[in-house]
Amino acid sequence: MSAPVHVAICGSRAPDTDASVIDAAVRCLARLVMSRNYKVSHGPVGVGIEVMTYIADQYRPPDIALAIGLFGHRNVIQDAEFVIVLGGGAGTQAEVDLALSMGKPVIALPASGGTARRFYHQAARDHRLRAPLDDEQFAALNACADPGEDFVRIVEQLINNDPRSTT
């Protein structure tokens, strides 16, 4: 049996983010994490802990009794194979910068605003930042008709097709 895929879920509800998009993405990411049994790292506050809280409240898995938020941006992303970004402010930007310096793929939902939107625009100018996304997947991130469902479908596709993935 292979180890579960490890994802970092980064982001927060900063002033320039879209709460309704983040709400939808949190619900959909929670379902994805549950269905695929991904290992998740996240900070003590922000959307990562929201995803874990949603899982605990809505799905009530018997093996989840606590969620540990990691202190230190490096600790959040250090062991992750993929870095998922929703919204976010300065702390999320630090996590994105660290992920890029470590060669980790960053998957951001631009409709959520904040750091995710800024990263998307930066990656539009610098193709190296968007690995492992091809041009079609990258464009699809910005064209999500249903930000939660469409975003999660792209995330799952990337994880399933990436050779770094252990699934």
- The tens digit of pLDDT for each residue in 4-48 reads 999 999 999 999 999 999 999 999 999 999 999 999 999 999 999
Rounded Cα gap, residues 1 and 151, in angstroms? 28
Instruction: Give the pLDDT confidence score for residue 88 in this predicted structure.
Output: 97
Length of the chain: 167
Instruction: Give the pLDDT confidence score for residue 167 in this predicted structure.
Output: 43
Instruction: Give the pLDDT confidence score for residue 166 in this predicted structure.
Output: 47
135 by Cβ neighbours in 10 Å (0-12 / 13-18 / 19+) ranks as: exposed
132 upstream amide cis, omega within 30 of 0: yes
- Residue pair 2/79 in contact (Cβ under 8 Å)? The answer is no
Judged against a pLDDT cut of 50, whether residue 70 lies above it is answered with yes
Instruction: Give the pLDDT confidence score for residue 135 in this predicted structure.
Output: 92
Res. 62 pLDDT band, cuts 50 70 90: confident
What pLDDT digit, counting tens, does each position of 81-127 carry? 999 999 999 999 999 999 999 999 999 999 999 999 999 999 999 99
6-161: which CATH number, 1.10.3210.10, 3.40.630.10, 3.40.50.720, 3.40.50.450? 3.40.50.450
**R_g (Cα) of the chain, nearest Å:** 14
Instruction: Give the pLDDT confidence score for residue 1 in this predicted structure.
Output: 55
